[in-house]
Amino acid sequence: MFKYLSRTLLTGFITLLPIVLTIYLLYWLAMTSEELMGGLLKRVLIEDVYFPGLGMLVGIVVIFCRSDDECLSGPPTLWPG
């Protein structure tokens, strides 16, 4: 009985660990990008333009924009045409 219960609990923990770590990593990434980019944007923009979350949004745009002509155009293609 105890062996079955401990195996079931261990299986549950192993199953939940990647999910919890992924959620925590996404939360950390969002908060870090908001702190870094939000701090820069608060210095550059006037107070009326800045809103909470703008730093995270700009961080995502910076990640996905590799150059001016490919900005937000989707994943790169192997064969142009």
Segment 23-64, tens digit of pLDDT: 999 999 888 888 888 888 888 888 788 888 888 888 777 777
Answer for the pair 34, 53: CB distance below 8 angstroms, yes or no.
yes
* Residue 3 falls inside a structural domain: no
* Residue 38 falls inside a structural domain: yes
pLDDT of residue 78: 61
* Residue 4 falls inside a structural domain: no
* Residue 13 falls inside a structural domain: no
Domain count, the chain: 1
pLDDT of residue 68: 56
Specify burial of residue 55 (Cβ count, 10 A radius: 0-12, 13-18, 19+): buried
pLDDT of residue 64: 72
Taking the C-alpha atoms of residue 26 and residue 33, their distance in angstroms, rounded to an integer, is: 11
pLDDT of residue 19: 96
* Residue 79 falls inside a structural domain: no
- Judge whether residue 71 has pLDDT over 90: no
CA atoms 40, 31, 33, 73: torsion sign: negative
